[in-house]
Every structure is written in structure tokens, then in C-alpha cells.
Amino acid sequence: MQFKKGTKVIATEGLRGVPEGTRGKTSRGVGLTWFRYRVYFDNGVELGSIGQDKLVRAENWPQFQVDREKAAKVAAKAAEDAKNAPVPAPVAAAAPADASAGNDRLAALMAKSKAARNKGGGSEDSPAPEPAAEATPAAAGGNDRLAAPMAKSKAAREAQD
């Protein structure tokens, strides 16, 4: 809803120097998606950049008040209903004995991983061995300049152990 120049409006809420319900007249409107207006109010106050959500056409003022009261009653009832609503008891989910019990795809991946660990010589419960990081240009992402500092860093870590 846009107001043309000279549209008689009423402030829907208290503004700076303008109480709610004060009549006024629009002067100039600006905005593409959020329309704002310069309004000359009957109490002598002139305000600029008043959003159209804070204004209503003078002929729509009585209906606006009825609609606002209905909305307030609905909101109050919803808040009361939410306050008095019983809180549902939390449902305890049965925890599967195995994490993969409910998901066949995950179970297949877990079995494949377990088989790979066993094939490598590790026990079923032992973690997979970490590959040793070498200080070579290949380990440094193909960068020869990083190979020497990586080797020095590796030597320092091994000296601490």
C-alpha cells in the first residue's frame, strides 16, 4: 500500500512528538521496497522518513483499531495456551548395542574397515596405524622449499620423545 502526496493518514503508534492517533498529511514518499513518507501532523509536528507500517489511511483507522485488538487477543490466547499446554514426556530411544545396528550401509562400511585393519596385522580393537610422515618433497606437497624445514621439525619432535 502506497500513499500519494496529500493522503490523509493517522499515526498507528507514538512517534517523536506525535501521539498515537494523530492525524496528518503525507507530503513526499521515497523508497523502492520500504516506503517512507514526510508527514505534516495536525499538532504542528513535521516528521520525515516515517515507514508506512506506522501510518494508516484516515478512513481505515477504525478498522485498523479493531484488527489490532483482535490480533492482541489472539496473541494473548496463544501465549496462555502455550503456558498451560502440558509438556510431553521425553521419549527414551532404545540405544542399539552396535552403532551400525539401524543402518545397513554403515554396517557394511564398518565391516569393510574392520577387515582392512585385520588385514594390516592389527588386532580388531587396535586403531589403524598412522602413516609415517617423511620429510621429502612429495610429503611436503611437492614443494622442495618445505622439505628441509619439515625434516628439521621432525627431528626436533623425535628428540623430545
Instruction: State residue 112's pLDDT score.
Output: 86
CB 30 within 8 A of CB 36: yes
CB 35 within 8 A of CB 22: no
pLDDT tens digits for range 125-147: 555 555 555 555 555 566 677 77
Gap between the Cα atoms of 86 and 92, Å rounded: 18
In which band, very low, low, confident or very high, does the pLDDT at 46 lie, cut at 50, 70 and 90?
very high
Instruction: State residue 100's pLDDT score.
Output: 44
Instruction: State residue 123's pLDDT score.
Output: 55
pLDDT tens digits for range 80-120: 888 887 777 676 655 555 554 567 888 888 888 888 888 76
Strands (E), 44-153: 46-51, 55-57
DSSP code of residue 103: -
Average of per-residue pLDDT across 64-85: 90
Instruction: Provide the CATH topology of domain 1-82.
Output: SH3 type barrels. (2.30.30)
35 contacts: CB under 8 Å, gap ≥ 6: 2, 3, 29, 51, 52
Asked which of 11-25, 128-142, 146-160 is least confident by mean pLDDT, the reply is: 128-142
Strands (E), the chain: 8-11, 23-30, 36-41, 46-51, 55-57
Residue ranges of domains in the chain: 1-82
Instruction: State residue 128's pLDDT score.
Output: 52
Instruction: State residue 85's pLDDT score.
Output: 76
Average of per-residue pLDDT across 27-36: 89
Average pLDDT of the chain, as a whole number = 81
Q: Max CA-CA distance within the chain?
A: 91
